[in-house]
Structure 1
Amino acid sequence: MLKKVIAIKNVGRFLNSAAPGNPHFARHTFITGANGYGKTTICAVLRSLGANDPSHILGRKTLGSADAPTVELLLDSGAARFDGTAWSATLPGTAVFDGVFVAENVHSGEIVDIEQKRNLYRVIVGDDGVKLAAADAGLAAASRTKTTEITAAGKALQSHIPVGMKLDAFLALAPVEDIDAQIADKLQNVEAVRQAGAIRDRAMLAELASPALPEGFEELLSRTIDDIANDAERQLTGHLAAHSMAGTGEGWIAAGLEHAGDSCPFCGQDIQGLPLIAAFRAVFSDGYKALASDIMTMKIHVAQALGDAALARIEAGDAQNRAGVEFWSKYCTFDAAPLAAPASLAPAARWLLAAATSLLNRKAANPLDATGLDEAFIAACAYHDEASVALEAANVAIRDVNALITGKKVSTGAADVKAAEAELALSKAIKARHEAAVDGLCATYSGHISDKEDIDKRKDGIRARLDAHTKAVVKPYESRINEHLIAFNAGFSIAETKHTFPGGIATSSYQLVINDTAIDLGDGKTPGDKPSFKNTLSAGDRTTLALAFFLAHLERDPALATKVVVFDDPFNSQDAFRRRQTVHEIIKVARSCAQVIVLSHDPTFLKQVWDKSPADSRVALTIVDHRSQGSKIMPVDLEKACQGRTVTDIDDLQTFLTTGAGKLHDLIRKMRVVLETYCRTTYPAYFLSTDWLGDIVRKIREGGGTHPAHALYDELDQINGYTSQYHHGENVGDATPDQIDPTELTGFVRRTLRQVNALQA
């Protein structure tokens, strides 16, 4: 629901509609205003708000204004702002009956040509039906175009498709990032299948053993003779020191003890019981001999583990693997670099051998002492460990390659040459499919196929909806429209409602029925002497027909209870009965919708609707011309605005204009009363309640261009001159008979009604 027009700026006559006391709208809102003041602009704003279509506002940008058109409205849901390009919020489903609705949906001018018949079709089946029909025709044409494009694109692709492969299968080939590698792999596989016997018998790669120190090396360096007495060790140490034999004396003494019995081998003296000899025998026991033997044995093992023989075995295995790599690389894809033994392995082994041998020599020289690890040995171990890690990485790579080799042996053992060649051909097709030039052709073809499928799917859906819509809408609409025409006492109806598709666009072909006679709508070429739409329906009939269509649409709208319905001058050239029926229909719609807004140039008509509306939910507004400030929306008192302007006077004038009925002298009197009342109520500060039409004309003339009613002067002066000759006493000196020309009177009645905004401009 629209609660308030906060501001309309630079749209039509509204430079800025904001004014002090900006009035709120109600559920029943009535807006009066002279033609050209902005009623149509308000309808355009509401139509734009409902359809979320900026064009309705942009097309009405105030001419000469450099600023963009903007609108700010207050809805139930909050503010809705149009910033010159788009709405911040909308009011979906707003239904507007105005000149735009009539022109777009019923007729344009008096001639019903092909474009008008399409518009008439829209009236019958509604916008939804027309959109469905237009969409169906457009999609059918698009589908035919796509078929031609598909055929041409398919021919362009044929030269790139492998023999025996279908176009759809070629298109479906998915891209592969490493397709060149896969092709190379497939080539290897084909060759492998052909060489299955050699692959089966060929040995896999061998892992390389890392040279290492024998177990127990460091433990040996730390060993001592645990059963040697401390005093024997001291005596031996002192003796060796006294004879300058430290470092080498232990070995010399140990060898000599083997030849000493009860006497000294040098002097022959008896040595039994001598304390020094007992110390020698304790020190150089069997444990000493075993330790010395273990040291010698360890030196041999270290030389075997880290020496040239061990390195030669590693080199031989590495050479054998290089030969295997050369063979297996023909059938398997792998990187050969990580498979080689590290270059640091031999120097690391030799360095470690030298460092270990040095420690063993030190141990052999002083077997009774624990030999600690020196810096040279520690550095050699670190370098050797790095080499060993690198060698293990090579072995890991060897194991991975051996897994590939095992798979190749298995696959080639049961593989079929033709199957392998087919896989190779498929990979080559994938590569060809996704080459830039071919991929572009495929994208074009697939795009056409996808587009056509989408078009056909949408067309089928549209066609089904159109058929269902036509069956459900056309006949019920025709019946309900005719019921409305009867209610308006229209004197005509519609029949034989049909639709065709000339040029692929939905077009109506119903007939008018007048006096039980069917009349074709005709077109611009229909002769003037043949009955048709243009010469059988009056302006009032056309407005009535349009209103009947609009009301029928509203009745079938399931969302009517949530909608805002707008009527802009819903009657035109209608007699009093149709005017009253229009009031009745508006009140009926108001009971079913969320809000009704009625705009009219005739306050009396609005007063009629106002009187039938609930007093607690109605508001009356007016559009006032503030000259250089543009139009403003202000509150208005309809009771006061219509005071003295009897409904019957205007009804009588409108009835005479439509049917010619009425007493001519009485009509002239009513013309003056209507004009006097209009001027007094519209410009109360400038005319007295006792001013007659002649007084009013004189005051406007005397006020000149600054008088607010100056724009009315010429018409009022002429109407006053015409009516005064019949309104005042007869001039006996005038020899011209006091006869009233009905044709002339008709013209002045029309001008009178137009002046008081009781007739469309």
Structure 2
Amino acid sequence: MLKKIIGIKNVGRFHNSAAPGNPQLAKHTFIAGANGYGKTTLCAVLRSLQTGEPTHILGRKTLGTAEAPTIELLLDGGQARFDGAAWSATKPEIAIFDGVFVAENVHSGEVVDIEHKRNLYRVIVGDAGVKLAAQDADLAAESRAKTGEISTAGKAVQPHVPAGMKLDAFITLPETADIAAQIDAQARSVDALRQAGALRARPALSEFAIPTLPADFTDLLARTIDDIAQDAEQRLSAHLAAHGMTASGGNWIADGLGHADDTCPFCGQDIRGLPLIAAFRAVFSERYEALAGEIATMKAGVARDMGDAALARLGTVAEQNKGGIEFWQKYCAIEAPALALSAEAVGAIRALAAAAIGLLDRKAAVPLDRITPDEDFTAARAAYDRAAAAIEAANTAIRAANVVIADKKAAADAGDLKAAEAELARLTAIQTRHRADVSDLCAAYTKLSGEKDAIEARKEAVRKQLDAHTKTVVKPYERRINDYLAAFNAGFTITETKHAYPGGVATSSYQLVINDTAVDLGDSKTPGDRPSFKNTLSAGDRTTLALAFFLAHLERDPAAAAKLVIFDDPFNSQDAFRRRQTVHEIMKVAGKCAQVIVLSHDTTFLKQVWDKAPAAERVALTIADHRAQGSKIMPVDLEHACRGRTATDIDDLQTYLTSGAGGLLDIIRKMRVVLETYCRTTYPGSFLADDWLGDMVRKIREGGEVHPAQALYDELDQINGYTSQYHHGENMADATPDQIDPSELTGFTRRTLRIVNALQA
């Protein structure tokens, strides 16, 4: 039990919380305070006392002061001091319902994210489950850390692992005594198969294509023009003999005829009807021209088929075969000399081609003459025939060699080079794996892997216990939450409460049920046009759900009887019925725990709880603003603070705002009473007990910028001006019957409720 707040210094608004009349706290302690005066800071102090975590305080150090935060509290077990760095003692038996509980366990703003679900899981499963969940989380973190160590050890081994082999397979390779001998033998096998692969890819030898003369070569040389008339041939022969033109006169005459028309192209005389001209034209007919063309064509063909280009192609084949022979002789029994192209053969082909072209040149000069092969041609032909026979013998040897080569390729296809290479790589990997330096690296990796397996086994055992425990509490917890929601008259329930382990951490999730329709919680990425937590629950509903979670958790806590339970503004944006139910639930908690502290900006709400508490076990305090001295914790008389205000005034204003029910003049009167009570309670040092609203507005105006309530001046002034016109001064009995505009009254009612933080969401 917290017996006394001796002093809070340099934390938030508390320069020094101590004030005259600083009382002892009681089993039922009620603390009133306006928003921003220090209620949240007080919760942070108590949360730090619970956890021993100093950041809750250090993050709230009073700005503008160099002095360290210090706190002194009196507990039933003695004093607990915070010296600016740490507590002298802690009190774990504290449960706090405030914005931090909501933000950590239920939702943040309008969103339920993964961290809320993880924290909510711990709320649901209770202390026993939390311990198991903590073990699970610790083991999961330990496993992740060990995975990092394993990754580092694996990276050290990886450079020694052959390509294509998995790390674990490398580490488990068995040690072999004669590994070096096995590697040597396998290397020789692989070398042979690698060469066999080259055999499969290597082409066979090529045969020589033997250039030959055209088959009708001799016939062409012997051809004459056989369709000339006998007398024309005699006349032509006599004419050529008479003019000494026997050698090539025929060609000269044939060319000249192309220029002869009716006159001689040489002398110009008329040649029509001359018998000699008729003879010329008979001899030099189209047959003559065709023969000349055949001679030219054959000459070109001989030059092409037996000339330098053809002989060069033969030389290329010979060179290719030479390289092929050198390669294949390593693997096949073939004789190189029998496969080669002799230099004499090339010369013989060239000589025959030259002799043949010479004879064709002679024939072209005298197409009408029969040309007989001379001795040079005959000798060249004989040499060629011998060369052709030698080439054909070489081709026969090449065909035989290609049969041997094909057999060798077929034999090479029977081997499996990839398999042999893989086996060599495996043997080499075994040798590397069991080298002393690599063996040490593998041993370290294996050790870490074993340690991780042990962690995983422990985590699996803990998770089984956690799953079993969760199954026993989740559904009862869900039912109890729905009981509370029904008690608060909420228009929704929860369903499908379950757990999972995303990211390896135990997490809870649930669905909302609204109008018999299940709605997923969603998260920050859920589109706005999809129903989810953020767009289906009002602020009041979200507060009610959070309070239901807290109460259900506290109800299941076996250590609840020893706990100090703090409620910070548990009633916020709620209707009257939920407020009364909240009072009821707080008193139920108070009956089962060691101490309950309720903080609120709404003194009427505190008064309702105060009225339910035993007079001998209650105390009321207020957090009051003392300007430059900051906030002070002082005794307060709730009866006096709520004087002139019934417990239902705000309820009536909220009812009018939502439904329009109530007397209009009565609503105006209650607006003034609510504001007057709020100002007296919130600023006790600034207003007297008998100050009316008009007095308060005047004092704020006269106080200027330094008045604590200066921020409310404009709103209070306008509301005072509106309400005062209906009751002549401050005498509420003098209200006039003037017509009241309901729309205008609704606007001022809303502004009044907003000032006192009672506007229903």
TM-score by structure 2 length? 0.58
Question: Residues 593-612 of structure 1, C-alpha deviation per residue, up to 9 Å, x if partnerless?
Answer: 11111111111111111111
> What are the equivalent positions in structure 2 for 1:266-665 lying under 5 Å apart?
448=448, 451-452=451-452, 455-456=455-456, 458-656=458-656, 662-665=662-665
State how far apart, in whole Å, the 2-side matches of 1:681 and 1:503 are.
49
Q: 1:154 to 1:457 in 2, by over 3 A?
A: farther
- CA pair 93-719 structure 1, distance change in 2 beyond 3 A: same
Which residue number corresponds to residue 25 of structure 2? 25
Which residue of structure 2 aligns with residue 104 of structure 1? 104
Residue identity in the other structure for 1:86: A
How far apart are residue 718 of structure 1 and its match?
A: 2.2
C-alpha separation between the residues in 1 aligned to 2:67 and 2:463? 46
Q: Distance in 2 between matches of 1:44 and 1:3?
A: 18
Cα deviation for residue 622 of structure 1 reads: 0.8
How many Å separate the matches in 2 of 1:659 and 1:99? 30
- Secondary structure, in 3 states, of the residue corresponding to 2:87? coil
Question: Quick check: 636-645 or 30-39, which moved more?
Answer: 636-645
Which AA in structure 2 matches 1:470?
T
Deviates more, 1:702-711 or 1:691-700: 702-711
With over 3 angstroms needed to count, the CA separation of the structure-2 counterparts of 1:680 and 1:145, relative to structure 1, is closer
The answer to whether the Cα contact below 8 Å between 2:488 and 2:581 also exists between their aligned partners in 1 is yes
Unaligned ranges ≥5, structure 1 = 159-165, 171-432
Give the CA deviation at 1:548: 0.4
Task: Give 1:316's aligned residue.
Answer: none
CA distance in 2, matches of 1:624, 1:641: 13
CA displacement, residues 377-425 of structure 1 (integer Å, 9 cap, x when unaligned): xxxxxxxxxxxxxxxxxxxxxxxxxxxxxxxxxxxxxxxxxxxxxxxxx
Cα 1:691–1:27, aligned 2, differ >3 Å: closer, same or farther?
closer
Distance 1:484 1:623 in 2: 31
- Counterpart position of 1:197: none
- Give the unaligned 5+ runs of structure 2: 162-170, 176-433, 729-733
- Cα gap change, 1:57/1:442 in structure 2, threshold over 3 Å: closer, same or farther? farther
Q: Partner of 1:340 in structure 2?
A: none
Q: Distance in 1 between matches of 2:727 and 2:742?
A: 12
The 8 Å contact of residues 624 and 683 in structure 2, kept in 1 or not, is answered as no
Q: SS at 2:25's partner residue?
A: coil
**1:86 matches 2:114:** no
SS of residue matched to 2:8: strand
Give 1:702's aligned residue: 702
Secondary structure of the corresponding residue to residue 66 of structure 2: coil
Cα deviation for residue 522 of structure 1 reads: 2.6
TM-aligned CA deviation for residue 471 of structure 1: 1.1
Instruction: Map residues 237-248 of structure 1 onto 2, 5 A cutoff.
Output: none
Q: Does 1:48 align with 2:48?
A: yes
SS of 2:9 mapped into structure 1: strand
Counterpart Cα distance in 1 of 2:660 and 2:150: 64
Cα 1:687/1:84, change in 2 over 3 Å: closer
CA–CA distance in 2 between the matches of 1:568 and 1:709?
Answer: 23
Larger mean CA deviation between 28-37 and 141-150 belongs to 141-150
In the TM superposition, what is the alpha-carbon distance from 1:652 to its structure 2 partner? 1.8
Partner Cα separation in structure 1 for residue 41 and residue 620 of structure 2: 18
Structure 1 pair 461/696, CA: closer, same or farther in 2 (3 Å)?
same
- Residues 494, 511 of structure 1: 8 Å contact kept: yes
Partners of 1:505 and 1:746 in 2: CA distance: 50
**SS of 2:592 mapped into structure 1:** coil
- Looking at structure 1, the residues matched to 52 and 685 of structure 2 have their Cα atoms a distance apart, in angstroms, of 43
Matched AA of 1:519: V
Counterparts of 1:94-243 in structure 2 under 5 Å? 94-125=94-125, 128=130, 131=134, 134-135=137-138, 137-142=140-145, 144-149=147-152
Distance 1:684 1:71 in 2: 25
| TM-fit CA distance, 1:706 | 5.1
| Partner residue in 2 for 1:73 | 73
Contact 1:485 1:492 in 2 (8 A): yes
Change (3 A) 1:727 1:759: same
Taking the aligned partners of 2:609 and 2:82, their CA distance within structure 1 comes to 31
Contact 1:645 1:674 in 2 (8 A): yes
- Give SS of 2:497's match: coil
SS at match of 2:742: coil
Q: Which residue of 1 aligns with 2:382?
A: none
> Does the 8 Å CA contact 2:112/2:533 hold for their aligned counterparts?
yes
Q: Kindly tell me: are residues 155 and 141 of structure 1, through their superposed partners in 2, closer, same or farther at Cα, counting changes over 3 Å?
A: same
Aligned residue for 2:721? 721
Check whether the contact 2:17–2:633 (CA below 8 A) recurs between aligned residues. Answer: yes
Q: Quickly say closer, same or farther: Cα 1:457–1:49, change in 2 above 3 A.
A: farther
> 8 Å contact 1:157–1:442 — kept in the other structure?
no
Tell me which amino acid in the other structure corresponds to 2:668: I
Partner of 1:740: 742
Q: Matched residue of 1:599: which SS? A: strand
Q: Counterpart amino acid of 2:521?
A: L
> C-alpha displacement at 1:455, in angstroms?
3.0
What residue in structure 1 maps to residue 62 of structure 2? 62
Report % sequence identity. Answer: 73
Q: What do residues 685-726 of structure 1 show as CA deviations (whole Å, max 9, x unaligned)? A: 765666532233123323434555444322211222333455
Structure 1 residue 7: deviation in Å?
1.2
CA distance in 1, matches of 2:569, 2:151: 52
CA deviation after TM superposition for structure 1 residue 494, in Å? 0.4
Match of residue 677 from structure 1:
677
Deviations, residues 348-392 of structure 1 (Å, cap 9, x unaligned): xxxxxxxxxxxxxxxxxxxxxxxxxxxxxxxxxxxxxxxxxxxxx
Contact 1:29 1:598 in 2 (8 A): yes
- Note closer, same or farther for the CA distance 1:557–1:123 as it changes in structure 2 (3 Å cut): closer
Contact 1:30 1:610 (C-alpha < 8 Å) held by counterparts = yes
Over 3 Å counting, the alpha-carbon distance change for 1:133 and 1:645 in structure 2 is farther
Structure-2 separation of matches of 1:624 and 1:689: 16
Change (3 A) 1:449 1:508: closer
Deviation string for 1:465-488 (max 9, x for gaps)? 321332122111101100010111
Q: Contact 1:573–1:658 (CA<8 Å) still a contact in 2?
A: no
Change (3 A) 1:632 1:463: same
Partner of 1:280: none
Q: For 1:484 and 1:681, how far apart are their aligned partners in 2?
A: 31
Output the CA distance in 2 between the equivalents of 1:760 and 1:630.
30
Match of 2:648, SS state, is helix
Tell me, in whole angstroms, the C-alpha distance in 2 between the residues paired with 1:658 and 1:123.
35
TM-score w.r.t. length of structure 1: 0.58
Q: How far apart are the structure 1 equivalents of 2:4 and 2:591? A: 21
3-state DSSP of counterpart to 1:486: helix
CA distance in structure 1 between the aligned counterparts of 2:58 and 2:686, rounded to whole angstroms: 38
Moved more, 542-551 or 59-68: 59-68
What is the CA-CA distance between 1:528 and the residue it aligns to?
3.6
Secondary structure of the equivalent of 1:567?
strand
| Amino acid across the alignment from 1:616 | A
Distance 1:156 1:38, change over 3 A: same
Deviations 1:529-566 (A, max 9, x none): 43322222111111000000000000110111111110
RMSD: 3.7
